[in-house]
Amino acid sequence: DPKIIQKPKYLVAVTGSEKILICEQYLGHNAMYWYRQSAKKPLEFMFSYSYQKLMDNQTASSRFQPQSSKKNHLDLQITALKPDDSATYFCASSQDWDREQYFGPGTRLTVL
Amino acid sequence: GDSVTQTEGQVTVSESKSLIINCTYSATSIGYPNLFWYVRYPGEGLQLLLKVITAGQKGSSRGFEATYNKEATSFHLQKASVQESDSAVYYCALSESTNTGKLTFGDGTVLTVKP
């Protein structure tokens, strides 16, 4: 059974719209993360949360907002979508911030 | 900021031959970073291959080895004899000693092992 669930697997959106990417982990971890990988670019850290509190935010834009309704959830809301937001978004989790990170399968977002 | 450089975007090796994938890093903090190799096999998610958190130490997993060389700021991945099942994308990464868990990744190296 998958331990980190990301939904949806694929997502197509129009410019200017808003989408929420879902991430749930069933590993009992206390820390969760979002990363992004655009075409021909390395995986890029976006956010880290520990015990549902924001630890680090490396995104330059406030259009990206993580939402943690439960300890094992960390959704990513993206508003006013732009074509440059097209990427695969990966959720990850770890027991604590300094432990091994486990990655989800990713959500591939395409903004037209 | 931190950076990780993998010089080879693609590597092709014949089965049973040796492999080295180069990784160098630059870290901004005063202390030494933690170093990782992650791997993504075809059709699978990203997973940790090995990690080393102490300078001078060697990590190993599944026949792969990497030594943390703080003088050269390198963390090259090696294997003495590759198998076709090793074909995958390999990512070098680092994390600082700050308490945020942020991983900084290299561009990745696509390894193709020919039978």
pLDDT tens, residue by residue, B2-42: 899 999 999 999 999 999 999 999 988 777 899 999 999 99
Work out the minimum CA distance from B25 to partner chain A, whole angstroms: 14
From the list B32, B50, B22, B40, the residue with the least C-alpha distance to B88 is B40
pLDDT tens, residue by residue, A51-109: 999 999 998 799 999 999 898 999 999 999 999 999 999 999 999 887 889 999 999 99
pLDDT recorded at residue B32 = 84
A59-to-A44, A80, A81, A103, A106 alpha-carbon distances in Å = 9, 15, 14, 19, 18
pLDDT tens, residue by residue, A5-62: 999 999 999 999 999 999 999 999 999 999 999 988 899 999 999 899 999 999 879 9
Q: B47 and chain A: CB distance < 8 Å anywhere?
A: yes
Give yes or no for a contact between B101 and A48, defined as CB atoms under 8 angstroms apart: yes
Cα A100 to Cα A94: distance, rounded to the nearest angstrom = 6
Q: Which residues of A touch B (CB under 8 A)?
A: 4, 31, 33, 35, 41-45, 48, 50, 55-56, 58, 90, 94, 97-98, 100-106
pLDDT recorded at residue A1 = 65
Q: Which amino acid is at B87?
A: S
pLDDT recorded at residue B3 = 92
Chain A CA closest to residue B34: A98
**Cβ separation of A102 and B47 shorter than 8 Å?**
yes
What DSSP letter does each residue of B37-74 carry, written as one string? EEEE-TTS-EEEEEEE-STT-EEEETTEEEE-BTTTTB
pLDDT tens, residue by residue, B45-85: 899 999 999 999 999 999 999 999 999 999 999 999 999 99
From the list A46, A53, A30, the residue with the least C-alpha distance to A88 is A46
Q: B107 and chain A: CB distance < 8 Å anywhere?
A: yes
pLDDT recorded at residue B115 = 92
Work out the minimum CA distance from A23 to partner chain B, whole angstroms: 14
**Cβ separation of B4 and A42 shorter than 8 Å?**
yes
Count A/B contacts: CB-CB distance under 8 Å. 57
pLDDT recorded at residue B99 = 67
Q: Please, which residues bridge with residue B111 across strands? A: B11, B88
Confidence of residue B43 (pLDDT cuts 50, 70, 90): confident
Report chain A residues whose CB lies below 8 A from the CB of B45: 4, 103-106
3 state DSSP class of A83: helix
